[in-house]
Amino acid sequence: MTQKNSENIYKALKEEERTLLEKNVTWMEKAFKRKEGYVTFGNAGGELVFCEGEFLSYLEGFQTIILKDGKQIAAYNWKIEDGIKNFQVLCSMKTDKSGKIFFCLIIRGDAPIIVGHTEEIEQESQYNLLIYAWDTETGYIWVGDNRDDGLTRIDYLISGNATGKQNFIEKLTAQSYLQKNSEEVKKHE
Q: What pLDDT sits at residue 178?
A: 52
Q: pTM of whole model > 0.85? A: no
pLDDT value, residue 161:
57
Backbone angles phi and psi of 94, in degrees to 5: -135, 130
Average pLDDT for 176-180:
50
The whole-number pLDDT of residue 162 equals 52
Total Cβ atoms within 10 A of residue 188 = 8
pLDDT > 90: percent of the chain: 50
Q: What is the tens place of the pLDDT at every residue in 68-124?
A: 988 999 999 999 999 999 999 999 999 999 889 999 999 987 778 888 888 888 788
- Classify residue 55 by burial, with Cβ atoms within 10 Å: 0-12, 13-18, 19+: exposed
Name the residue among 44, 45, 13 with its Cα closest to residue 116: 13
Looking at residue 157, what is its pLDDT?
87
Q: Is 172's pLDDT higher than 90?
A: no
